[in-house]
Structure 1
Amino acid sequence: MTTALPQRRSVHVREVEDDADLWALPPSGDATVSWMHDGRGMIGWGEAARFEITGPGQYEQAARAWSGFVSLLGGDAASAVAFTSFSFDDRGRSVLIVPQVLVTRWENRNWVTTIGPGTPSRHTPIARPGRVRWSDGALPRDRWRGAVAEAVRRLRRGELDKVVLARDLLAETDQPLDPRFLLRELARRHPQCWTFAVDGLIGATPEMLLRRRGDQVTSQVLAGSSWSGDGEQLLASQPYRDEHDFAVESLLTAIAPHCADVRASGPSVLRLRNIAHLATDVSATLTTGVDLLGLAAAVHPTAAVGGTPRRAAADLIAELEDLDRGRYAAPVGWLDANGDGELGLALRCAQLSGSRARLFAGCGIVAESDPDVEVRETDAKFAAVREALGA
């Protein structure tokens, strides 16, 4: 685990009257972090602390790193927030970042939290990406369709109940991509989603994996999708209902050792800009005192992003997907010094690197799935970032 810590750890909080465009506040696109929903949330920049985590036990490592930093802040820790994004599996790199400057907007009130001395930086205007060129990712469209067809054959043989397969798509622009531009466009187009940015991973996720407030835990499970927006079709389709039920059951099973009074309400239909999902709301009361990261370790990956049974799905993903997911489809969000916070799943997202963006999309596959339909569903899911980039 690598770390970077501030030399001075003083924390300053002030309320400001400012209705400015939040996305224009960071001095540049570098090191921007965000978690926004329907115009409310947080955006920050700079790094008061940074922890990079690799290998097994990434949630436990992150929890220890955050706890150690909180102890350094002492009584000021109540104002500190960490943004985090985890690797889908132990092969990748997870990151936890404490921004040096954090702007929190709730209703029409804004708070600015600064950790450390603060360093002046030159503000640059938000830049449009210009012309975008598209190319295949790890698996071209036709080869990915073949992987889905093979998964369906395995499912029909009874090797497992569900598997989630993902594909990627590459975008190249004439100049370095400005995360602030992509964030602003995603937030404008998808206000129902949580617009996030952590270490160059930018997206607008519709799925709240876990929210912890004291001893109260909530989640919204999404599985079963229609890009036509036909919610009644989803509710009436047994394959979609089965796919959804697997995802709900995997979450309930994972949180059961830590919770009581677990309740699931659904499915209902969540209609978004270019796609509709079956959604079930889950609530529970913590009985073990586990913090947000401990819960994440227990539930990830749910059947919504991995499959079921979990081990069999992971093996099939490794065999057929031919893709390093990085931090796609893993927990992303924020947490505070009390162990509370929110973690979504990193969906409808892209990893930015200079003038290149790597987009991700995936589908839940069951025995009745049609490979051609699944390909079109990934195209619909790519659309969130494609449209925001101007495609």
Structure 2
Amino acid sequence: MTSPSPVDVPHPLGSQHPALVVRTVAVPTARVGDLLALLPEPEDAGDIVSWVRKGEGFVGWGRVATFRATGVDRFEQAQSWWRGVTSEAIVRDDVDEPGTGPIAFGSMAYSRRSGTESVLVVPEVVVGRRGDLAWVTTTTTDSTVPPADEPLAAQPDPRDPGEVVFADRDLSTQGWAQAVEEAVARISTGTLDKVVLARAVQATAGHRIDPRWLLTRLAEDYDTTWVFAVDGLVGATPEMLVRLERGLVTSRVLAGTIRRTGDDSHDLALAGSLARSSKDLEEHEYAVRSVADALTAHTSSINVPETPFVLHLNNVMHLATDVAGVVRDGSTSLALAASLHPSAAVCGTPTMDADTVIAELEQMDRGRYAGPVGWMDASGDGEWGIALRCGWYESPQSLRLYAGCGIVAGSVAEDEVAESVAKLMPMRSALGG
């Protein structure tokens, strides 16, 4: 298939970009196989997309349209652009399920102050699978509906990036520990209840880092997470910020973490201690309340479990709560993500006070780390996770890795450093470090 020239426009006006022509057809699931194995080797790491969990979800390649924005209204700008694009699109959708027809993959900057652009990408080809259903969506800017019968074939395996060297960025490990101590001191004065502090590590490889290498290894080792790639941001997030499907909204809140040892009996005891930890329960309650309060404004009913459960991942365990509600105001998934962001799980409580402390103590721009990442279809349905356990391509051979920890009154700097190391492990392991 000949790739059309990508359309990169700031506004959804018909006079400024050609209409998208979209075709979705069902295909046998046997033709799809491993979604990630279908991804071709990209010339640029940003030219593929992924949203895969336990073998289901989407992969895509090529770019037909791209939108970028910065600033406080980046969510509104993105939603307005997508509404305009989809209203003008020529669509033939033989499947008619959430995620079929026109679909955009997005990654939003964490901060309104960030110089990093938020982005929506419309791929040329998207392959999706959910249960016994599989489909292919092709999008062009040609005047005819594309056939959507592109052969699906596994691509050659990605190559090993070679030896990878890791180094602190922005703050040294000791410097970040001092920032944690300062945050605890400010919490003790009563000016805020919780703040989430993040740190960054630079990973530099001997050879080009193929994003498919990372995605494949992350999916193998962390199959309960959403393995994502959007515009050069690659990772595996355990946290679903918001899912919207036919009016039902759900959100999974993770806050409160303990590192696993690999010994099942010991980990079971650790899970029990996590579930009883006053420090972690306090941190979790702040995060749950911030999500529930935000969703209440958009829902006719909402369910918030009284107690969290312990979510077991390969490297850590989290306190987790699933919040659900019925949307009453017609909000899209991106609008709901905007109302939830930043939650206490990635910022703190109160939000504005915590955000000010983050800007002062972290001494870095988070970029799209800890911002919403996911997808949205033409109806507004979609899934947006929080961009955690991830890395951003600074060059073909270099990624910036991120990890953050929730700091409350009982936090100990040494323990938070250890937690940050555990949260960096998925990306480090995927790189071979």
The normalised TM-score by structure 2 is 0.86
Amino acid across the alignment from 2:332: D
Q: What is aligned with 2:422?
A: 380
Q: What CA RMSD, in Å, does the superposition of the two structures yield over aligned residues?
A: 2.2
CA contact (8 A) 1:224 1:244 kept: yes
Q: What is aligned with 1:180?
A: 212
**Cα deviation, residue 2, structure 1:** 5.2
Q: What is aligned with 2:241?
A: 209
Structure 2 counterpart of 1:81, from 103, 109, 116: 103
Supply the distance in 2 between the matched residues of 1:227 and 1:188 (Cα, whole angstroms).
Answer: 19
Supply the distance in 1 between the matched residues of 2:156 and 2:364 (Cα, whole angstroms).
Answer: 35
Amino acid across the alignment from 1:325: R
Matched, 1:243 2:243: no
| Count of equivalent residues | 391
Supply the distance in 2 between the matched residues of 1:27 and 1:3 (Cα, whole angstroms).
Answer: 26
Deviations 1:288-337 (A, max 9, x none): 11111211121100100000000100110111110110000110000111
Matched, 1:138 2:144: no
Range 273-282 or range 290-299, more displaced: 290-299
**Cα deviation, residue 26, structure 1:** 2.4
Matched, 1:233 2:249: no
Q: What is aligned with 2:130?
A: 106
Q: What is aligned with 1:314?
A: 355
CA contact (8 A) 1:261 1:285 kept: yes
**Cα deviation, residue 238, structure 1:** 0.6
SS at match of 2:410: coil
Amino acid across the alignment from 1:155: I
Matched, 1:264 2:286: no
Q: In structure 2, list runs of 5 or more residues that go unmatched.
A: 1-6, 11-15, 94-99, 261-266
**Cα deviation, residue 65, structure 1:** 0.7
Supply the distance in 1 between the matched residues of 2:343 and 2:77 (Cα, whole angstroms).
Answer: 21
Deviations 1:207-240 (A, max 9, x none): 0000011221101100000013521111111111
Matched, 1:343 2:349: no
CA contact (8 A) 1:100 1:115 kept: yes
Amino acid across the alignment from 2:9: T
Matched, 1:280 2:302: no
SS at match of 2:177: helix
Change (3 A) 1:8 1:256: closer
Deviations 1:121-151 (A, max 9, x none): xx76512111101111111101000000010
Q: In structure 1, list runs of 5 or more residues that go unmatched.
A: none
CA contact (8 A) 1:24 1:126 kept: no
**Cα deviation, residue 23, structure 1:** 2.1
Deviations 1:165-208 (A, max 9, x none): 00000110112210011001101110100000000100000000
Supply the distance in 1 between the matched residues of 2:53 and 2:124 (Cα, whole angstroms).
Answer: 22
Supply the distance in 1 between the matched residues of 2:340 and 2:133 (Cα, whole angstroms).
Answer: 34
Identity of aligned residues (%): 44
Supply the distance in 2 between the matched residues of 1:139 and 1:342 (Cα, whole angstroms).
Answer: 33
Q: What is aligned with 2:20?
A: 9
CA contact (8 A) 1:6 1:48 kept: no
CA contact (8 A) 2:49 2:231 kept: yes
CA contact (8 A) 1:2 1:53 kept: no
Range 290-299 or range 347-356, more displaced: 290-299
CA contact (8 A) 1:197 1:203 kept: yes
CA contact (8 A) 2:347 2:355 kept: yes
CA contact (8 A) 2:21 2:90 kept: no
Supply the distance in 2 between the matched residues of 1:75 and 1:201 (Cα, whole angstroms).
Answer: 29
Q: What is aligned with 1:42?
A: 58
Supply the distance in 2 between the matched residues of 1:249 and 1:151 (Cα, whole angstroms).
Answer: 21
Supply the distance in 1 between the matched residues of 2:163 and 2:34 (Cα, whole angstroms).
Answer: 25
CA contact (8 A) 1:269 1:277 kept: yes
Supply the distance in 1 between the matched residues of 2:423 and 2:316 (Cα, whole angstroms).
Answer: 8
CA contact (8 A) 2:392 2:399 kept: yes
Range 360-369 or range 249-258, more displaced: 249-258
Amino acid across the alignment from 1:244: H
Range 160-169 or range 150-159, more displaced: 150-159
**Cα deviation, residue 157, structure 1:** 1.1
CA contact (8 A) 2:19 2:85 kept: no
Supply the distance in 2 between the matched residues of 1:224 and 1:257 (Cα, whole angstroms).
Answer: 26
SS at match of 2:304: strand
Counterparts of residues 314-333 of structure 1 (less than 5 Å) = 314-333=355-374
Change (3 A) 1:387 1:286: same
Amino acid across the alignment from 1:331: P
Structure 1 counterpart of 2:396, from 354, 358, 361: 354
Amino acid across the alignment from 1:51: F
SS at match of 1:18: helix
**Cα deviation, residue 22, structure 1:** 2.5
Q: What is aligned with 1:161?
A: 193
Q: What is aligned with 2:120?
A: 96
Counterparts of residues 114-125 of structure 1 (less than 5 Å) = 114-116=138-140, 125=157
CA contact (8 A) 2:245 2:382 kept: yes
Q: What is aligned with 1:52?
A: 68
Amino acid across the alignment from 1:332: V
Q: What is aligned with 2:405?
A: 363
Amino acid across the alignment from 2:299: C
Q: What is aligned with 1:252?
A: 292
